[in-house]
Amino acid sequence: MSDSLLSPAAAFSLAFLGALLLMAALRLWLGVRQIAHIRAHRTEVPIQFADRVSLAAHQRAADYCVARVRFGRLALTVEIAVLLAFTFGGGLQALHGFWSPRLDGLGYGVALIFSVMAIAGAVDLPLSLYTQFVIEQRFGFNRMSLRLFMLDLAKQLLLGLLIGTPALLAVLWLMARMGAAWWLYVWLFWCAFNLLILFVYPTWIAPLFNTFTPLNDAALKTRIEALLARCGFASSGLFVMDGSRRTAHGNAYFTGFGKAKRIVFFDTLLGRLEAQEVEAVLAHELGHFAHRHVLKRIALIFGMTLLLLYLLGQLMNAGWFYAGLGVTDESAHNTAMALILFFQTVPVFAFLATPLASLLSRRHEFEADRYAATHASAADLVKALVKLYEDNAATLTPDPLHSLFYDSHPQAAQRVARLSR
């Protein structure tokens, strides 16, 4: 009787493949729904936006969204192919076979993980180039030259090596030396490391990619400082970012913690919105701060990471975990391989939780909208949102189920309806 039962490795293989198939089928089905729904409403602007958005702008947004969803099918196919090549295709096994005779210990672990990242990055590069220089270019959003794209990529790689290498060495060392409770030590290190990055990003990392200049519009600055005073928000400065060097999309955000908090406006945003509309958009962003959304999300991420690391701690010494994902050489059952396999497979099993994260994010957006309507003008926020939807070619008619599953922001009609009450 026992001979007919699946081995733990085979059972895990089937579970993983089943989850992967479900994820792929659901993503493709939602994409089909999205395209069909947008096309069905392409010929007419929704009535609540008819006096604010032109038919040409509405159709441009529809075509842009459809193009991105279609391209997403190819990206999904490549993503799954790479994952299967690394696991059941023997890719990780082959990389282990290459590095294990040449390196050991921490050097082996870093080389193995960086090899996987390099291969995945090389495969993803043509997709990124197509997105930037074909899709974004076709719809008038791309402002980047190929030279700037490659320069950004080189900077990202260099930063990844300079920052990522010592962090990865620390993680692998803790996993190897801290015994059964290594996952707790790694979690503490990971939390400290991420908080450090959040502190240094505004002043040390972001300026490597963009130029930040103090806001010099005196009238707008006075208006914003009055808003900050009303909201009790202390900032280290108001800055304008040269987002137009790379994209026509507009945005505003605040970054950093404590006294290092900065408010940043894309120059594209300031060039499009009126002063009172900029104030309303910033009031929305301040709503996230007032409701502690950033802290709540960080706490949620830290909590989930602790749970995942604990789970990895239980799986790291289980032979069926490796064998079930195509790594049959027992000499490859080590900390680095465990990390790679775990964080390649977790997104597959966790995909069904996507709507929960989306729901939480949409609730936060509604709360920030209510805050903005209290501390600024709701009507001005509506005007600003409509302009941003139009300028960013965000569709006004997404498929409701697709939106429910994926969208971190509420549908335009829902936001405007609530703000117009």
Q: Which among 395, 401, 404, 388 is positioned nearest to 66, based on CA atoms?
A: 395
* Per-residue tokens: 10: 């085979």
- Biggest CA-to-CA distance, the chain: 82
Residue 303: enclosing H or E segment and its boundaries?
A: helix 293-315
CB 254 within 8 A of CB 289: yes
**Among 79, 136, 369, 390, which one carries the catalytic annotation?**
369
What is 323-346 written as a DSSP string?
A: HTTT---GGG-SHHHHHHHHHHHH
What b-and-e string marks burial along 371-388, b requiring 16 or more CB atoms within 10 Å of the CB?
bbbebbbbebbbbbbbbb
SS3 letters for 260-299? HCEEEEEHHHHCCCCHHHHHHHHHHHHHHHHCCHHHHHHH
| 274 flagged as catalytic | no
Q: Any alpha helices (H) in 42-181, and if so which ranges? A: 55-86, 91-99, 105-130, 136-138, 146-177
CB 231 within 8 A of CB 286: yes
In the chain, the amino acid numbered 294 is V
**Among 136, 279, 285, 391, which one carries the catalytic annotation?**
285
User: What Rg value do the Cα atoms of the chain yield, rounded?
Assistant: 24
Left if phi > 0, otherwise alpha if psi is -120 to 50, otherwise beta: which for 237? left
Q: Quote the CA–CA distance of 119 and 115 in Å, as a whole number.
A: 6
Active site residues: 285, 369
